[in-house]
Structure formats: C-alpha cells, structure tokens
Structure 1
Amino acid sequence: MQKFKNILDLIVFKHSIFALPFLLVSMLSAIRLYDLSFFNVIIPFILAIFCAVFARSYAMALNRFLDANIDILNERTKNRPSVDGRIGRFNLCIFIFVNAFLFIVFSYFINITCFYLSFFVLILLASYSLFKRFSYLAHIILGLCLGFSCIAGELVLTSSISVYSLALCFAVCFWTAGFDCLYALQDMEFDKEHKLFSIPACFGAKATLFIAAIFHLLAVLFWLLFFVSIHSGKVAYVGLMIIALLLTLEHLIVRKDTKHIQRAFFDINALVSILFLIIFLLDWKLFNV
C-alpha cells in the first residue's frame, strides 16, 4: 500500500480531475451529435478512459524522471518520490515504459487512427519537460497535452475531427496554460536562477498575471464556441458565466496574495472541471426534453 501511495504521489493522481471530465464531455458530445447508441460504443468509451490514465501516468512519471536533477534543488519539490529515493530511477523507467506500452496497445484496440496517433501523443506528452529548458511556450505545450484529449474523445468514437472538439481542445489548452502560469509564480526566482524558461521567469509577475488573464479569456471564448457548435441550451451559457466568475476569483486570490496559489490552482480549477461536466449533462438532458 505504501508503494501504491508513492506512485499516486509521484503522478499527482488527484490532478487527473483536470482533464478527465473534458474527455468525457468530448465523447458524450460525439454520441449526441452523431446520434450514436451508447451501448454500441461502450467498449471504445471505456478503452479511451484507460488510455487517458496510461497517458497521464506516462507523462507525469517521465516529467519527474527528466526533472529529478532540478527538483532536488527546489525547496518545493525536493520531497517528491522520484527525488527522495522512495521510487528508484530503474523502477521509474519501468513504470514509464509500461504505461507507454499499454497506451499504445489500448489505442490499437480502439481503432487504427488512434493507434497511429498514439505515437504522436507520446511525443507530445514528452515534449513538455524538454520545452521548459529552452522556451517559455512550455505552458502552451502543457495546455495542448490536456487539450488534445478533447480531440481524442471524438476520434475514439467517430475517427473524425469537427469544430466542437477543436474548440474544446483550444479552450482546455488556454485554461491550462493560464493556471499553469499562475502556478509557476511559485518558482519564478528558482527558474531565473537555474535558467529555466517560464513566463514568470521571462516576463515577471505583473506580466504573468496579465498573460494568464488573456489565456483564461480565450478559454472562455472557445468554451462559448464549443457550446454554440453543439447547439446547447440556456443552461450551458449560464453555467459558462459561473465558470468565468470562478476564473476571475482565481485571479483575484492570486493577485491579493501569491501564498494562496496552491488553493487557487487546485480547488478552483478542479471545481471548474467538474462543474463543466455537470453543466454539459444538465443542458443535454434539458435540451433533449
């Protein structure tokens, strides 16, 4: 049990809540728009959820593996399992390769398009750790890593890509990039000292707050496009206004005191993710009635 807890700590499993609801929304949107029977797509639906878990576990473990020499120097990250010896590098490598292999295998059993794209996805997920060593666009790369799950949600069930999944992808991308910029404020001085690229390290705290706000504004606009593209009802638009207010609250909390970044990062963004799924389900049911 302790080893299992160490693994969950390593991959920060509780953060899965950020991306998984949007994958579900994307797949449910495909069922709604293409008039699919849920029972006919239940197997790829379940396989896709497993793929999301494998992909995220691979990405987080690889990031921890590549960043071990950096994390050990950072007061905030020096107690991670990949740094303090709770999980050895050999075991970490095995964990990375097993998750990558299972991701590819499960993708193969979904459809051939997902199988071919699985290799691209693994490269994209691996690029985040490398990007922050030479470009502040790493925040956008991280956003794309989460956002691509929305495109995958449609590909899994239809082998096609439409406006709704692209809009949802870009919304999640900018939403993620925005809260990652705020989160990176914690390590601004550390990143400067060790020549790591992040928006806070490159542009400073004030500019970061402005850029993060622009990212979140774009996220709301793309979410609006998503709801328009799937012909949503009033519930969706009212819900989107609530989400916009939550993101505004996140920025107000961080601007008031950066010590509250952790709360703003997890509590509010977890609520945004879950609330978005609930809004979608409520609107769908009311829309059908």
Structure 2
Amino acid sequence: MWEQLKIIFADIKIQHTVFALPFAVMSAFLAAEGLPTWEQLLWILLCMFGARNAAMAFNRIVDARLDSKNPRTENRALPAGKVGMGQYWAFLIVSSAVFIFAAGMLNRLALWLSPVALAIVFFYSITKRFTPYSHVFLGFALSVAPVGAWVAIREEISFTSLVLGAAVVFWLTGFDIIYACMDVEADKKNRLHSIPEHFGVGRGLLFARAAHAMMVLFLLGVMALSPLLGVTYLVGVLAVAGLLIYEHSLVREDDLTRVNIAFFNVNGLISLTLMTLVIIDCMWV
C-alpha cells in the first residue's frame, strides 16, 4: 500500500503544492493582520493538502485515456498501469474527506463552502474538452486558496481576498499557457483545446505575457487595499515582475526546450518570494 501511495504522490507532483500554498498562507496573514494561530495554520495546511490531492487525483482519473495518447504523459501512473483505477478513486475520496474535515475544524462558513471549493477544482479537469480557455479555469481553481484562507481566518469573503485571488487567476493562466505550448500537436490530435492550440504558439505566448502583466496590477491592488503592506511588499511585487520577465525570456515560439524551467523553478520562486515578503510586512506592523 505504501509503495502505491508513493507512486500516486509522485504522479500528482506533490511538490507543485508550492504554487498555491504560499498564496493561502499570505492571505491568512493578511486576514489575521499578523500571525494567525498555529491551530488555524495547521488546519489551513491540511485543507490545502486535501483539496490539491483530491483535485489532482480527479484530473488523473478523468484524463487517463487521454494521457495514454500523449507522449509527454503516457508514463503517468494510470496509463502506464503502475496503480489501479480503484486505488486512485480511494485516494480521491480520502483526500476529499480530509479537506472537508479540516474545513469544518476552522469554522462553519468554511465547512459550508468546502463542497463548492471541491466542485470548482474538479471542474477544471474537464474544461479542455470544450474551451481553449481552460487555463483561466485552472487559475480560478487555484484562486480558491487565498479566498479560502481568508474565510478560514475571518469567516467571510473579503474584496481584498478576491483581488489576491484574481492575481492568482492571471498568474496561473499565464504560466499554464506557456506549459500548454508543449502539447499543441497532441491536443490537435485528441481534439482538446488550449490557447496555443487554438491561436498558435506565438499568439499564445502573447496571451501569457498579457495575463502576467494583469497579475502584477492586481498585486499592486492588494497593496492599495491593505494597510499592512508597505515597501517590503512593493519590493516583492517588483521582484515578481522581474521574475515574470525572466520567465518569458526563457521561452520562444521556436524554442520550448526550457519550458519546464520556466514552469516550476521560476513560478515556485515567485510564490515563495511573495509569501515571505508579505509575512515580513504583516509581522512588522
């Protein structure tokens, strides 16, 4: 059983939690106007762990047939036969239960909204079948993290958390478009949709740049809304802008060899840098 669990965790790329988790943490610090309680942080982390695992398990289950037809994904656990479909379903159910339980331990609103959050993160996995704008749905799914963390602390949905969530939407949209550039031919063959598949890789990269410019604007909007954020956070936003420029310099229409560097290394650094500087600003107030 443990060996199968290791395979599933590797298959869902548990290390990619680094994308959404820092935004949940920074939202929690902003909502608490400083350090949240350790109990709150623990349950938020457990929520993130459960929700992401459930979402990725659902994605792997519904995409198993399609993954087997894509050279980039044919070695994933299900199409390669490394684990069974039943084991993946069990993992999904347990992960969903962990998320709902942790949400209930935070407050009543978090509990009531937990099935809605799961529906949102599950829905992304089917959008590529009918719209080229599936990247936006992925961004929307991950924006649940900062909005949900605010609910966890304040038991409300605030405008500030929605603006931070919008920054996440545009951030994910941009770098998922870049990542999708590698799958254009497979998407065409399997009648799947993406912005690079629909508009071409060159135009897709332009869409990604525009999305990342919008992210920076929304991050500045968060600063305008929160009295906790000052020069340290502004430095963070400028650093994010610089990292985004670097990310786009790594990828060209005729050279996609460094997409994985742009996807994981740069974006992981973006989320961790911003989280660190938000925490510093919140703790100094």
TM (norm. structure 2) is 0.95
Counterpart of 1:273?
A: 271
Deviations 1:189-234 (A, max 9, x none): 1101111011111111111011001110110000111122112211
Quote the offset at 1:43 in angstroms. Answer: 2.3
Counterpart of 1:5?
A: 6
Q: Which runs of 4+ in 1 moved over 3 A?
A: none
Quote the offset at 1:83 in angstroms. Answer: 1.6
Residues of 1 paired with 2:107 and 2:158: CA distance? 18
Unaligned runs of 5+ in 1: none
Counterpart of 1:63?
A: 59
Counterpart of 2:81?
A: 85
Choose the corresponding residue for 1:162, options 158, 161, 174: 158
Counterpart of 1:257?
A: 255
Counterpart of 2:106?
A: 110
Deviations 1:151-190 (A, max 9, x none): 1111001111222211110001110110000000000111
Deviations 1:40-73 (A, max 9, x none): x432331121011000000001100000000011
Quote the offset at 1:111 in angstroms. Answer: 1.3
Kept after mapping to 1: 8 A contact 2:68/2:79: yes
Counterpart of 1:247?
A: 244
Counterpart of 1:14?
A: 15
Tell me the number of residue pairs that the alignment of Structure 1 and Structure 2 aligns. 282
% identical aligned pairs = 34
TM (norm. structure 1) is 0.94
Kindly indicate whether residue 43 of structure 2 is the aligned counterpart of residue 42 of structure 1.
Answer: no
Counterpart of 2:208?
A: 212
Residues of 2 paired with 1:2 and 1:230: CA distance? 46
Kindly indicate whether residue 30 of structure 2 is the aligned counterpart of residue 29 of structure 1.
Answer: yes
Residues of 1 paired with 2:208 and 2:170: CA distance? 9
Residues of 2 paired with 1:46 and 1:93: CA distance? 26
Unaligned runs of 5+ in 2: none
Choose the corresponding residue for 1:150, options 143, 146, 153: 146
Kept after mapping to 2: 8 A contact 1:103/1:118: yes
Kept after mapping to 2: 8 A contact 1:10/1:82: no
